[in-house]
Structure formats: C-alpha cells, structure tokens
Chains A and B, each alone.
Chain A
Amino acid sequence: MTKSSGTILKAAEPRPRRGEAQEGPSNLRSPLATVLGQGSAKEGVHHWWMQRLTSVALVPLAVWFVVSLLSLPSFDHATVSAWVGHLWTAVFLILLVLTGAWHSQLGVRVVMEDYVHGNGAKALALALNTFFHIVVVVAGVLAILKVALGGAA
C-alpha cells in the first residue's frame, strides 16, 4: 500500500463537482443518499478486526492442538480424559473452541452473505449460523470443564 500510494496520489486529479449537495472533494455520496441518511453502520470494521484477532490467536492454538493430538500415545478414554483434564490442556482447549468457533462464525457468515440470496433465506441462514456456533461453544466448553473438574470419571 505504502509503496503504491505515490502513484495513486499522482493519478488523482481534482474531480469536477456534480451537484450542490456535495460538501467537498471527499464526498462520494449522491444528494439523495445524503438526504435519506442511509449509509454504512460502521460495523464492518468490528467484523474485520475480530476476524484478524481470532486468526492471530488461532495460529498458536491450532498448531498446539494438532501437535498435541498427534502426540497422544493412545485414544482410549483413560488417556484422552487424563490429557483433557490437565489444567493447561483444558485452558488451551477452551481457548481453541471459543476462538475457533468465533472465527468460524465470522467466516461462515461472510460466505452466507455472499452466496445465500433472498433477504428471508439470508436472514434465516445467518441466524442459524449464529445459533449453531453458540451451541458448539457451549457444548465444547462444558465438556472440557466437566472432564477437567472430574465429572467424567
């Protein structure tokens, strides 16, 4: 971005004004849009930022999980529940489920916004996406806590 900004600035000529409603060269909205007052709810940045924060957190969490899973000496119940029951395993597993589900919810949401057409179908799909991921988080975290707190024995 920074490297190409020089050329962008060079190419930018003062635009001709198109109507009275324009307040300055930075106003790209039509006069009607200005009157109606409808525009960005300024919520896009939050989605974008959360997608980035969760992805940064998921790099170590996901790598830790895959390495741990492949390092498990056995997948029988005693071994797995002892592993999940370790304090730090439980902490990282809960973080993984929370962050992973959040990241997944944001990602699936964008795909649905792009590919599900019709306002009704889209609203339904987005609602189901949210509900589904909340169920995933609650079930996952509760399961980890139950094992970690000794309920699975």
Chain B
Amino acid sequence: MTERPLSPHLSVYRMSRYTLLTSILNRATGLVLTVGLILLVYWLVAVASGPAAYGGARTVLSLGMLKAVYVILLATFSYHLFAGIRHLIWDTGRGLERAQAKRSAALVVICAIVLFVGLAWWALHAGARAP
C-alpha cells in the first residue's frame, strides 16, 4: 500500500487564519471534553460505590488542580457547543460563503465567551458547595 499524504500540517499552516484556528480549536476542545467524560464517569462510579468511597473520590475531585480543569471544561464546553452548531448549520448547505463563514466564526467566539463567563460566574457563586 502506498503512503498517502496525511493531514497534520499544523506547523505549515498560518495560525492567523481564522479558518484553521476555529477548526483546530473545535478538535482540541473535543479532546478536552473526552477528559471531562472520564471525570464524569469516575464521579458516577464513586456515587454508586457508596458514601465512604464517594468521600475519597470527593477529596480527589476537590483538588485545586482539578478546579482549574473544571474551569477549562466550562470554556471548552462553551466553545465546542457553538462551533458544533456552526458545523451542523454548514451541513445544511448554509453559511458556506467566505464572508458568512468569517462572520459565523466571530459569532461562535463571542457566544462561547459570553456563555463561558455566564457559567463561570454561576459556578463561582455556587462555589460554597464545590465538589
């Protein structure tokens, strides 16, 4: 089988291009959300293991390092949600013109920042009952 060209050209493309940046960010945030899925299942298994085991897991989940991870997860969730909706709209054949794509890229970033700030504010005010 012949070696076919593959796509990781991260060092070749110009990162200033919004098309590349929005695309690679969608992938990166997706990978981060997979880590979130692992944390979710770890938490659910801890709940199912009873109060004693849950206490231990809660100590782990309350670590300062993981709190930074929760902030990152809120940010990645916010971005991946809107970037994904943008992809779903593209799939209907709409918004593919260059000007439209440029506008929707800006819209995705703005919506993601607004949602993230809102969620982070909410999480902060609920901070007294952190995990």
Contacts from A to B (Cβ < 8 Å): 1-4, 52, 55-56, 58-59, 62-63, 66, 70, 72-75, 77-78, 80-81, 84, 93, 97, 100-101, 104, 107-108, 111, 114-115, 117, 119, 136, 139-140, 142-144, 146-147, 151-152
Contact = CB atoms under 8 A, between A and B. Distances in A.
| Majority-rule SS of A interface residues | helix
| Majority-rule SS of B interface residues | helix
A72 B129 contact: yes
A75 B130 contact: yes
A66 B77 contact: yes
Contact of A114 (B6, B30, B51, B122): B6
B51 A77 contact: yes
Contacts of A104: 30, 33-34, 37
B106 interface: no
Contact of B81 (A62, A115, A139, A144): A62
A93 B38 CA distance: 14
Given A66-B119, A136-B37, A139-B44, 13 more contacts: A3-B97, A63-B81, A66-B74, A66-B77, A70-B122, A77-B51, A77-B54, A80-B54, A104-B33, A115-B6, A143-B41, A151-B48, A152-B47
Nearest to A146: B48
Which 5 pairs of residues, A with B, have the shortest CB-CB distance?
A: A143-B48, A1-B93, A143-B44, A140-B41, A146-B48
B31 interface: yes
A101 B41 CA distance: 10
A80 B47 CA distance: 7
